[in-house]
Chain A
Amino acid sequence: MPGLRRLYAPQRVAVRTDPRGVPAKVDGVAVEAVREEWLVEDRWWTPRPLRRHYFDLALGDGRALTVFRGAGGGSWYRQRA
Chain B
Amino acid sequence: MELACVIDKRLAAQLRPDRAWGPRSGRTGLPDPVEAGEATETMVRALETLGAAVESEQSGEAFFAVDGLRGLYGGEAAGVLAAAQRAVGEEFQLGTGRTRFTAFLAAVGWARPVPVAALRTRLGVSEREAGELIEALERLGIGTLRAFTRLSADQVADRFGPLGQRALRLCQGEEEALRPRTPQVELAEEIELPEGTAGCRLDRALELLVDRLLAAPQRQGRTLLGLRLGAVLASGGSWSVEQGLGRPSASAKVLRNVLVPRLEELPGPATSLRLRAVGLGPPARDQLELSVGGSEPRRRRLGAAIREVRAVQGAEALLKILPVDSSSRVPERWGLLTPFPEL
CB distance from A47 to the nearest CB of B (A): 5
- Whether B338 and A42, one on each chain, are in contact in the complex, defined by CB atoms closer than 8 angstroms, is no
Q: Which of B33, B264, B329, B331 has the most C-beta atoms of chain A within 10 angstroms of its own C-beta?
A: B331
Q: Which residues of B contact A37 (CB under 8 A)?
A: 126, 128-129
* Interface presence of A19 (CB below 8 A): no
Stretch of A6-14, A24-32, A57-65 at the chain-chain interface = A6-14
Q: Which residues of B contact A9 (CB under 8 A)?
A: 332
* Interface presence of B18 (CB below 8 A): no
Alpha-carbon gap, A46 to B204, bound state (A): 33
Alpha-carbon gap, A57 to B42, bound state (A): 40
Alpha-carbon gap, A8 to B334, bound state (A): 8
Question: Mind listing 29 A-B residue pairs with CB under 8 Å?
Answer: A1-B264, A1-B265, A4-B322, A4-B336, A5-B319, A5-B337, A5-B338, A6-B336, A7-B334, A8-B334, A9-B332, A37-B129, A38-B126, A39-B126, A39-B128, A42-B33, A42-B329, A43-B33, A44-B60, A45-B29, A45-B30, A45-B59, A46-B33, A47-B23, A48-B23, A49-B23, A53-B126, A53-B128, A80-B331
- Whether B335 and A7, one on each chain, are in contact in the complex, defined by CB atoms closer than 8 angstroms, is yes
> B336: which of A7, A46, A47, A51 is its contact (CB, 8 Å)?
A7
Alpha-carbon gap, A52 to B23, bound state (A): 16
Closest-by-CB residue of A relative to B23 is A47
Q: Which residues of A contact B127 (CB under 8 A)?
A: 39
Q: Which residues of A contact B10 (CB under 8 A)?
A: 44-45
> B11: which of A5, A44, A53, A79 is its contact (CB, 8 Å)?
A44
Considering only CB atoms and an 8 Å cut-off, how many residues of chain B contact the other chain?
A: 36
A79 with B23: in contact, given A3-B338, A3-B339, A46-B32 (CB under 8 Å)?
no
Q: Which residues of A contact B337 (CB under 8 A)?
A: 4-7
Q: Which residues of B contact A43 (CB under 8 A)?
A: 33
Alpha-carbon gap, A49 to B127, bound state (A): 16
Alpha-carbon gap, A45 to B8, bound state (A): 10
Alpha-carbon gap, A52 to B60, bound state (A): 20
* Interface presence of A50 (CB below 8 A): yes
Residues of B within 8 A of A (CB): 8, 10-11, 14, 21-23, 27, 29-33, 36, 59-60, 126-129, 264-265, 319, 321-322, 328-332, 334-339
Alpha-carbon gap, A3 to B341, bound state (A): 11
- Whether B329 and A8, one on each chain, are in contact in the complex, defined by CB atoms closer than 8 angstroms, is no
Alpha-carbon gap, A62 to B79, bound state (A): 61
- Whether B128 and A44, one on each chain, are in contact in the complex, defined by CB atoms closer than 8 angstroms, is no
Alpha-carbon gap, A9 to B334, bound state (A): 10
Closest-by-CB residue of A relative to B26 is A47
